[in-house]
Structure 1
Amino acid sequence: MSYLLNHDDLESLLLGACFFGSGGGGTLTSARSLLAQFHAGDYYPRAQVRVVSVDEATDGDTVMVAYLGSPVAINGAHFPQGPVGAVIAVRERLAREKRTLSYLAPPESGALGFLVACLVAAHLGLAVIDADGAGRAVPSLPQLTYAAAQISPRPAFLVSQSGLRVELDVEPSEGENGAQSQRQDVATIIDQMMRPIVSQADFKQFGGLAMWIMAPAELARALPVRGTLGRALRLGRELQAGRLRSADELVNYLALQFDVRARPLFPQGTFVAAEAESRNGFDLGKITIRAGDRLCTVLYQNESLLVWDSSRSSPICMAPDTISYFVEGDGQAVYSNGDLLLPDGTLNPALLQRKVTLLGLEANPVLRERNGLILNSFMQLLNTIGYLGPYVPLTGNASTAAGSAA
């Protein structure tokens, strides 16, 4: 059933989406900068967003819309001009084909990913679909269900905040959209081509992306991970109301309300250090948590990808499983990697005295399919940060029992 979101609803949505984003999906800082301008006026005709289910999205075509680039670089944006420009380009292309763009789909679960889709929809009078391409945030396009479902990525539009438009129409060697392997390759090629583009001066490390245009008949296979905006909204409301005060309460809530299995990865500890740099549209870094004599290190590329425990000889959690922070005490309880840092890349000192629990959430089965495009893409990414072993799912990792030592 469709429903409407107003300004207050979107603030709740951001908090829940941040938790499910595995440390990425954009920062709360950047999302709130955009949300602060969300009121009825010249830019937004109405300060409401209509959300529909996959089954309800039958009155026109859908396109995925997002910001692509460094979450920290996006922090200063006040209006989603780049994503709006990219969606307008898609709408114009479809109009020439006598087709109508009616819906937007978020790329992933994350504060910025959900909010951008909502704000662009509000500006252009479209609706947002209550689903996304992963149920967590991801660092690259081949890790989304749109790519795994072999939705044609042609054309793809990337638009800067100032309006510079780039169209990528990568033509495969077989047919209009290519054979199965080539369609997957095209999504990878587009991702690899876009990263250097957003590094150019006109883009300033980020841009608005619109790609994967879908007819109603394609949505069922493109969006198997559903109800993700709704669950983020509900969790966010609980967090705002202060009804989840501990990691145990949160774990129980996730299990009872969403059948999401979460578990502590490391004993409750404190943040002690952070390192970060922005390069090729990514924020690269690591976060360190201490509990007694043990150190926990989270490695991330926008999103958290790998967790090491100093008492273990192998990682205790890895993507595509989700890695999330829950910080107890007064104040904000959930953070992305970028939100933990000051503008100079150092750890926010306000967090040093607060207790944090690192939680692992089992990924949706479509992300863990053996030899599937999504899992293979994650494993290739893990290889680049030094992990050369196999994927060990959260449920199969004996080291995920918090507090146990080898």
Structure 2
Amino acid sequence: MAWSLTADMLPDLARGAAVLGTGGGGDPYVGRLLVREAMRESGPITILDPDDLADDALVIPTAQMGAPTVCFEKLPHGTEPVSALRALERRLGRRADATMPIECGGINSMIPLLVGARTGLPVVDADGMGRAFPELQMETFAVYGVPGSPMAVAGERGETVVIDTGTDNAAMEWHARGVTIRLGGVAHIAEYAMSGAQVQRTAVPRTLTLALTVGRAIREAREQHADPFDRLADVLADTLYGHLRVLFRGKITDVERRTEQGFARGRAAAASFDGEHGLEIQFQNENLVALVDGEMRCVVPDLICVLDAETAEPITTEHLRYGQRVVVIGISTPALMRTPAALATFGPAAFGLAHDFRPVELIA
């Protein structure tokens, strides 16, 4: 069933999206401001349940691409994602019936909303990652047979580039990353154009609703002086993300962060409040693996989220700082993200990690 997203819902949605972004996906704050301004002219945005899509509807997902460290400093003009959408429509010879997130985490929960507000298109309540991943081929769309190209890339000065690599989604990522670097490290894209039937078959459903629910749960727990981490676990228990585990509580003691090849890569270390245990998180835009005293406690594609110890506000990788008091949680991913084909695309080996995937709920 379709529902209307109003401007007063955006803070909760952005908070929840930052949790689901697992440290990456870009800070949704700027995206929230862009959407809010667009909604002052357009009014509410229609959010469309994937089950309500016509089989032959054309859905074109839209997103921002680039290293979060660059996105944090290089603000978008606001017209880029619509430019990418229009460029891809021209290539396809058909107008889109809806847009959709490629990932539900971070700023990319907001970019399709901006497109919806600017164009009047409905936004499908689903995405292709169920979280955030750093590379374009790391999509459930790709896992289950939808090619990402042709895709369109748009820059802040009106530049558009169309990339067509056929069914080779990894090559599409490679070319698009190079274009994005040459556009200053951040660009906006339209890709994985697909039918409504393909959305229903390949997407992670109702993740905008999930982000809104997660963000609201954290806020309401604080307002009611309840434990936000317990509230978050209770909320997730009734979703496709059924398990939440607290992995670590402590203070950030070190952050190594560098921007290379279009990604933010690095590690963060923390010490437990009693000083007896240590945590290390490795990230490539998003948090990939959490080690406690050298032992793996959670690994991609399960979610590793760093939250403020007092407020449960999510902390993205570009905002990690020495001295922050944090709670690190692991959240299980939906079943369609744990199949052998899915793990081959965005499991530990896809990132060169020397760890086998083990569900977070099963790690002792």
Normalising by structure 1, report the TM-score. Answer: 0.82
- Alignment partners' CA distance in 2, 1:376 and 1:54: 24
Indicate the SS of the match to 2:158.
Answer: coil
- Distance of aligned partners of 1:376 and 1:101 in 2 relative to their CA distance in 1, 3 Å threshold: closer
Indicate the SS of the match to 1:134.
Answer: coil
Q: Paired residue for 1:388?
A: 354
Q: Paired residue for 1:403?
A: none
**What residue identity is the alignment partner of 1:129?**
V
- Alignment partners' CA distance in 2, 1:100 and 1:195: 26
**What residue identity is the alignment partner of 2:349?**
Q
- How do residues 274-293 of structure 1 correspond to structure 2 at under 5 angstroms? 274-291=255-272, 292-293=275-276
Aligned CA RMSD, in angstroms, stands at: 2.1
Deviations 1:19-63 (A, max 9, x none): 1111112113433453463343xxxx4032110011212273101
- Alignment partners' CA distance in 1, 2:310 and 2:342: 40
Deviations 1:119-138 (A, max 9, x none): 11110110100011121111
- Alignment partners' CA distance in 1, 2:335 and 2:60: 24
- How do residues 5-404 of structure 1 correspond to structure 2 at under 5 angstroms? 5-35=5-35, 37-40=37-40, 45-58=41-54, 60-75=57-72, 76-94=74-92, 96=93, 99-171=94-166, 183=167, 186-200=168-182, 203-223=183-203, 225-241=204-220, 242=222, 243=224, 245-256=227-238, 260-266=242-248, 268-291=249-272, 292-310=275-293, 312=294, 314-329=295-310, 333-340=313-320, 347=321, 352=323, 354=325, 356-370=326-340, 372-383=341-352, 387-398=353-364
Indicate the SS of the match to 2:178.
Answer: helix
**What residue identity is the alignment partner of 2:201?**
R
On the 8 A contact 1:262/1:362 being kept in 2, the answer is yes
Deviations 1:345-398 (A, max 9, x none): xx1x6xx363x211111111112112x154344333331xxx324222223322
- Alignment partners' CA distance in 2, 1:353 and 1:141: 31
On the 8 A contact 2:217/2:235 being kept in 1, the answer is no
Indicate the SS of the match to 2:347.
Answer: helix
Deviations 1:193-224 (A, max 9, x none): 22122111xx110111111111223222121x
Greater Cα offset, 289-298 or 244-253: 244-253
Offset of residue 323 of structure 1: 0.4
Q: Paired residue for 1:174?
A: none
Listed as ranges, the gaps of 5+ residues in structure 1 are 172-182, 341-346, 399-406
Identity of aligned residues (%): 25
Indicate the SS of the match to 1:212.
Answer: coil
Q: How many residues align?
A: 357
Indicate the SS of the match to 1:23.
Answer: coil
- Alignment partners' CA distance in 1, 2:309 and 2:148: 42
- Distance of aligned partners of 1:396 and 1:376 in 2 relative to their CA distance in 1, 3 Å threshold: farther
**What residue identity is the alignment partner of 1:318?**
V
On the 8 A contact 2:290/2:296 being kept in 1, the answer is yes
Deviations 1:320-347 (A, max 9, x none): 11101232325x622222233xxxxxx1
Listed as ranges, the gaps of 5+ residues in structure 2 are none
On the 8 A contact 2:283/2:289 being kept in 1, the answer is yes
- Distance of aligned partners of 1:164 and 1:374 in 2 relative to their CA distance in 1, 3 Å threshold: farther
- Alignment partners' CA distance in 1, 2:173 and 2:324: 39
- Alignment partners' CA distance in 2, 1:277 and 1:297: 16
- Alignment partners' CA distance in 1, 2:238 and 2:255: 34
